[in-house]
């Protein structure tokens, strides 16, 4: 069965500092990997996704993530965060045999950016 572990439930960081949100997955098959962001009282919005090819994926709002197959990780990074990046971030995986396009989510990481 597929599963996703987000290693940090909360990450506090100061504005303009770099940040890394960690995500590990387990799956017996090839997977697609996603990062979603949820701003307060809103639905989820796609940040970026890895399907195949280059292991470094760039997304919206200056975020990027690196797929590491040997470590089964897909960590999200941003070199300099803003107050507006305060939100909850979810890592998700999809792929067979779970059924196509079904997402398995991690528990989420709450990013709090302080001035």
Residue from 101, 112, 114, 115 binding other proteins (CB under 8 A): 101
61 DSSP 8-state letter: G
Task: Provide the 3-class DSSP secondary structure of residue 12.
Answer: strand
61-90 residues in contact with other proteins (CB under 8 A) are: 90
Choose between 52 and 70: whose C-beta lies nearer to other proteins: 52
Choose between 64 and 105: whose C-beta lies nearer to other proteins: 105
Helices (runs of H) and strands (runs of E) counted in the chain:
0, 12
Burial classification of residue 53, based on how many CB atoms lie within 10 Å of its CB (0-12 exposed, 13-18 middle, 19 or more buried):
exposed
By the criterion CB under 8 A, which residues form the site for other proteins?
Answer: 4, 6, 9, 32, 34, 36, 41-46, 49, 51, 90, 94-95, 99-108
């Amino acid at each position: 069965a597929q599963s996703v572990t987000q290693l940090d439930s909360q990450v506090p960081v100061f504005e303009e500092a770099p940040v890394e949100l960690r995500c590990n997955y387990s799956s017996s098959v090839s997977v697609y990997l996603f990062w979603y962001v949820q701003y307060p009282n809103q639905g989820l919005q796609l940040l970026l996704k890895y399907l195949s090819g280059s292991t470094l994926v760039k997304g919206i709002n200056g975020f990027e993530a690196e797929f590491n197959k040997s470590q089964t990780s897909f960590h999200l990074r941003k070199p300099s965060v803003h107050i507006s990046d305060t939100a909850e971030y979810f890592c998700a995986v999809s792929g067979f045999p779970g059924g196509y396009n079904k997402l398995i989510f991690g528990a989420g990481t709450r990013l709090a950016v302080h001035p």
